[in-house]
Structure 1
Amino acid sequence: MDDNEPAAEIVPSPLSRLDSPDLLKVIVDSALAGVVTMGEDGHVNGWGASAERTFGWTAAEAVGSRLSDLIVPARYREAHNEGLRRYRATGEGPVLGTVMEMEALHKDGREFPVEIRISPAAVVDGETVFIAFAHDITARRETERALAARVAEIAAAEASVEDYVRMMVHEMRQPLTVVTGYTEILLGQLAPDAPSRAELEVILEQAGEAGGMVEDLLLAARLEAGSVEPHLEPFQLAEVVRAAVARVMPRAALRRGTITAAAIPEGLRVRADRTFTRRILDNLLSNAVAYSPSAPAVDVTVDVAEDEVSIKVADQGRGIPRAFAERVFDRFARADEHNSPPGSGLGLYISRHLAERQQGTLALISSVEGRGSIFCLCMRADRESAQRIR
């Protein structure tokens, strides 16, 4: 090209200017939401392509028409018009700038749900121009209804399972009660050295274990259904801990074991459910004895820090495999089905739920295979008694 030849004039595209009406139209038509603009008098002065798809009216049909006649169901039109009148009189509109869900009218006469946000956009010739962004939320509403129906089905199924478990527990209790009762009668009639006494005692022990598993199943079902509510009250912790030790001590003594409960502060009260706490301690102590391969050696200690009480149950048993430690509180969790003591596999699962229901926690804080485990039950301390002890 000759240096003396004048350069060709470059004509800018209408879209190259940020204030270009053509650029604005592209933006509005590309928006995912249906974009509508309206004057203070309620007449449409802008109607994007998405609004055409959402409401069925073309821009040619919509512009110049009253918005209320196009998309507002008849029963809401007076409220819509009253809102415009209020804005013209006061400059205020309670729905402006908020996201609303409402029913809208399609050109074909059907109503459908939309999510809409209306805001003042600009002032032109002394009048406010409003802009609305509308989304058709029919699919979302259908999904919500489907989810709600599914939740209701699950709730009904859970209630049905709980009812079934209750019925089964009731049916199982009766034969177990009969077995236990007749076994106790027979034992009472036998001499202490009778040859069949040992067998009857085994029957009685096994019936008791079966009864415990049945009660665990019932309690687990009730916990999952949310029908177990705690009765929180302050009570002396030392009494509950010592009573729990006394209940489990005979089982430890049969295996020449010991359970020590030292350093329990006298006068210390906790705010919890006494029955829940008793059940948790029974489970922890029973497990500590049952999972000790030799003579059990179980230590129970109590610590107070701020407004929290920690009860630690430590044993010198077989310990929990590292790979199983994360699942020890799961339903029916048993590290070794073949070598585990009899049980439902629900004890720790139930205990953790009971701890949480009474605003506490239950955790496995350490475990080494072949050296034992330490579980910790934390509860809220009665503040006054805890301050006295500290």
Structure 2
Amino acid sequence: MSEDMQALLARLMEAEALKQGVIDAALDAVITADRDCRVTGWNAAAERIFGHRRDEIMGKPIGDTIVPPHHRAGHEAGLARYHRTGCPHVLGQRLEMEAMRADGSLFPCELSIHEVKAAGKLFFTAWLRDLTPMHEAQAELARQRERLHQSEKMSALGSLLAGVAHELNNPLAVVVAQTTMLEAMATEPAVRERAQRIHAAAARCGRIVKTFLAMVRQQAPRRTAVEVNATLRGALELAGYGLKSAGIAVEQALDPLLGTIEADPDQLGQVAVNLVVNAQAALSDRPEPRILRIETWREANGIGFALEDNGPGVPDDLREKIFEPYVTTKPLGAGTGLGLAVCRNILGAHGGTIALEPGALGGARFVVRLPLGHAKPEDTQPGAAAPLEKHRVLVVDDEPEVGSALAELLGLHGIESELVNDIPAAMARLDAQRFDAVFCDLRMPGGGGGQLYRHATMAQPHLRGRFAFVTGDTVAGPSAIAALDPDRPPPILEKPFTPQDVAEVLQKVREDGA
């Protein structure tokens, strides 16, 4: 062989090595095939992506190796059409499709195929990119966007509920306090009974408001011994008229040996009522028979109960979202989509779960599981709080009726109260008169209760520990109050307040003041 031929061969070998090095260094799979689509080139990235070693796949048909079975007929038809007509359908285009790895798993890929002619022969070169990381990143981004969206919705819900609660709790505080006084002062049994009914209804309204607020602020439930069977019967009794008028037959399979668990009775009752009302709404337009089945059972570490109906059930596209806020199966205007979100958050705070499971009646079956906890006897009702030493308290509230109601309840405990309705007047009284304690509304014009707290503890230092805030804003209120004095947070009296609530705060004020 002449020197020129040797030099040419060396250059060709060098060029081939350089080309192969570039192809092997590519991040994407580079695959070369002959006119029958049998593999003639397979770079390192192709080995990594597909799991086939180069020496194992060389000469094998692409259709039998990396093309998924359900695409192979189309692949063969397209290749035959190209050989017959010479008209390319996919050559030179960037396509997104599925490919198959050596273990049979499928993955998304981006593919670009080009025709190459060399030495009178036809070859195909494919550049293939694994889109799995990009799809996973997009899915994670979508999940984060959805979580952010849910967080924003919950934040908006919290702001809305805080405003609604503040507006509702003021008149509810008046109703609860005045019915308490009427009940205590009434001489006629009929009047006393009416006062008790009004008081019970207003107190229930207050508990419902607090339950919604608890959902937003994720507060710990107040635990006591609760009979779940009795709670479910109470929910059925509460919704009894609606169930009867809708022609719904209720089947009960309650375990008589279920016993008690440690839970918040009001919150657990709210869960039961929500589930019963949801079932009633789902069955309202269904032909008879309309059936609601409730059952309870013991589990290894807790109890379970289920509410099941023979209604339309939950659509498949909503089964994963049904517990999110604002998601509802009811017609526009017939529901807020908050009930199941409330249930999930209440049960989560109790260490429990709620799930939508297959049932035997053909409709929706909601299953609740709760741990037993360490059931404690219900707190006893406190009597009158130990009186403050000098019995003189300043009550500050820009709602005169709320302030008057609080002053009257304090009077039941032997406390002499002075009522003012704005911050400047309160500051003036603190500058002129010594008080043994202050009960002040948090949200008021003129700087609010926070401004008065700072003034009061400077003007009369002994009031630190004897300054109680009264508020209906139990979402942002507690953190704002705690920020005023992190080392010694002032006690809080939540609206609407009962005599028991007032007694408890009085006792705390007395202990803190000591």
For normalisation by structure 2, the TM-score amounts to: 0.33
